[in-house]
Amino acid sequence: MRGGCGRTPKPLRVIELPTSIDLRPIDDLLPFARNSRTHSEEQILQIVASIERFGWTNPVLVGSDGVIIAGHARVLAAQRIKPPLEVVPVIVLGHLTEDE
């Protein structure tokens, strides 16, 4: 081991990585009931403008039950685009427990 101090390196931790991005109907996505983040109308309209200009660049994160973990504002923006988007890209984080 070069430059080490003689310690044995820790084994690598296996990290769960998403393997796909799916398209899900917006109507199938459920807002997380205890979501503490709120977004003003101005913020939602800024996200609408960003999606219209650059496309969808950041998938919504959902649990295997369809509950939104991250991306509530993106989903709201997708509903405001004219015409509204019917599906959005999602990454399903099926390995998380309800507490996580």
pLDDT tens sequence across 26-77: 999 998 877 777 889 999 999 999 999 999 999 999 988 899 999 999 999 9
Chain-centroid distance of CA 5 in Å reads 40
pLDDT reading at 1 higher than 50: no
Catalogue the E-assigned strands of the chain.
22-25, 60-62, 68-70, 87-92
9: tokens are: 């390196």
Per-residue pLDDT band at 8 (split at 50, 70, 90): confident
User: Any residues with CB less than 8 A from the CB of 16 and at least 6 apart, and which?
Assistant: 95
Cα angle 16-65-68, degrees, rounded to a multiple of 5: 80
